[in-house]
Amino acid sequence: MELRDGLLVFGGGALGAMARFWVAHSLSRWSARFPWGTLAINLSGSFLMGIWTGLAMSHTGLLLWAVGFTGAYTTFSTFTYDTVTLWSRGQVLAAWTNIAVSLLGGVALVATGIRLGEVWR
């Protein structure tokens, strides 16, 4: 890996972390009973990764930046923590909904984003 590649991942990661903080903070008032912030972050991050992947098929720099951004922006650990928290509160349906929407929605949004990125490219 070249220094330039590492800097692209680093820069994307810094911006992704800041974006995650801003989105999570903005949605925190609606997250008392369901982790809307985490869900919005992971679904939008999946969509962005798909778009950037579709756009970057022949542009390694954009792909490295996208990996850094979405890696810092999205969060599997918070998703799993939120799901376990819902489950432990007895909100079993909400926990399963979080799992289904996060996983199925994420896959669908990556696929949709890739297709859009390819069209725009």
Task: Report how far residue 30's alpha carbon sits from residue 21's, in angstroms, rounded to the nearest whole number.
Answer: 15
Domain positions in the chain: 3-120
pTM for this prediction: 0.91
Question: Which residues fall in the annotated binding site for Na(+)?
Answer: 71, 74
For the packed helices 3-27 and 60-73, what is the interaxial angle rounded to 10 degrees?
40
CB count in 10 Å sphere of residue 53: 19
What are the residue ranges in the chain where pLDDT is below 50? none
What's the DSSP call for residue 34? S
- pLDDT tens track for 43-66: 999 999 999 999 988 788 989 999
Residue in the structure block whose two tokens are 């850094």: 68
Reference 97, options 23, 28, 33; nearest CA is: 33
Amino acid 31: pLDDT = 74
pLDDT of amino acid 59:
84
Q: Quick one: DSSP state of residue 47? A: H
